[in-house]
């Protein structure tokens, strides 16, 4: 499956063809590599597990979307209402842990506990961006900005869009700031939560001039 007529196609990952689902799974892995590497699952098997989650409505990745271009999957993200976050995250982790070798489970569960202590809160009524990645060949072209706007456009009526970003990923922090996101909370040795406040009509950011963005 390719984008028709040279025009990129935006659709849920579960509606992609089998090979494109695997390509989208690769991008999902790259969006949070420390999580997936900690599982100890081989990359080939991990891609298949993630592609399976595209079809499982008890996981975070049922809400995954992709942009399909003439040369394949150009980007992918997963987003959902923050109030659903705990349930969906637990579903995703259960699917991963159930496929891990028993010897890897204690280390992964310890890593996951430590990871969660580094994640600051987000507004409970926000629309949350859980995964986000543009294909390497598309980076630096403005494509990631278009992909981010697709996320914002899916907002189901929340006044805020939210996400987490590693404090050491300065390029990503700068990217989100350019697109109107501001820091909501930060843990110095971990991640920051960032928010985009939408205007009352839900179209575009509502950023006071005093912020100087």
pLDDT tens digits, one per residue of 159-201: 999 999 999 999 999 999 999 999 999 999 999 999 999 976 5
Cα 207 off chain centre by? 23
Could you give the CA distance from residue 103 to residue 86 in angstroms, rounded to a whole number?
A: 26
SS3 19: helix
> For position 210, what pLDDT does the model report?
28
- Could you give the domains of the chain? 4-211 (3.40.630.30)
Could you give the count of Cα atoms lying within 13 Å of 146 in the half-sphere of its Cβ?
Answer: 17
**Which of 62, 89, 64, 85 is CA-nearest to residue 75?**
64
Neighbours of 184 (CB within 10 A): 19
The CA angle 211-212-213, to the nearest 5 degrees, is 95
CB-based contact 21:54 (threshold 8 Å): yes
Profile the chain (213 residues) by mean pLDDT over runs of 10 residues. 67 97 97 94 97 98 95 96 96 96 94 95 97 90 91 94 97 96 96 91 45 29
Where are the strands (E) in the chain, listed by range?
9-12, 64-69, 72-81, 127-134, 160-166, 182-186, 191-197
Q: What is the C-alpha separation between 92 and 176, in angstroms, rounded? A: 25
Contacts by residues 178-183 (CB-CB < 8 Å, ≥ 24 positions apart): 178/145, 178/213, 179/145, 179/148, 179/149, 179/205, 180/205, 180/207, 180/213, 182/207, 182/211, 182/213
Predicted local distance difference test score (pLDDT) of residue 155: 93
- The structure's pTM equals 0.89
> For residue 166, what pLDDT is reported?
96
DSSP SS3 for 120 = coil
Q: Of 81, 64, 77, 72, nearest to 31 (Cα)?
A: 77
pLDDT value of position 68: 93
| Residue 5 pLDDT | 54
Gap between the Cα atoms of 93 and 89, Å rounded: 6
């Amino acid at each position: 499956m390719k984008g028709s007529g040279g025009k990129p196609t935006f659709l849920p990952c579960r509606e992609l063809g089998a090979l494109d689902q695997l390509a989208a799974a690769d991008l999902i892995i790259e969006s949070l590599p420390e999580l997936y590497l900690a599982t100890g699952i081989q990359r080939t098997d991990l891609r298949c597990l993630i592609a399976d989650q595209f079809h499982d409505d008890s996981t975070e990745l049922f809400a995954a979307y992709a942009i399909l271009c003439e040369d394949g999957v150009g980007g992918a993200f997963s987003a959902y209402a923050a109030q659903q976050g705990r349930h969906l995250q637990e579903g995703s982790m259960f699917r991963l842990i159930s496929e891990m070798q028993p010897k890897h489970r204690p280390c992964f569960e310890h890593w996951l506990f430590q990871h969660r202590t580094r994640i600051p809160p987000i507004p409970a009524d926000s629309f949350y961006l859980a995964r986000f990645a543009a294909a390497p060949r598309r980076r630096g072209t403005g494509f990631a900005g278009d992909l981010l706007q697709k996320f914002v456009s899916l907002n189901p009526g929340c006044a805020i869009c939210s996400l987490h970003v590693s404090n050491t990923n300065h390029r990503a922090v700068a990217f989100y700031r350019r697109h109107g996101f501001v820091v909501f909370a930060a843990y110095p040795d971990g991640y920051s939560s960032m928010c985009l406040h939408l205007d009352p009509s839900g179209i575009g950011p509502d950023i006071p001039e005093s912020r100087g963005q």
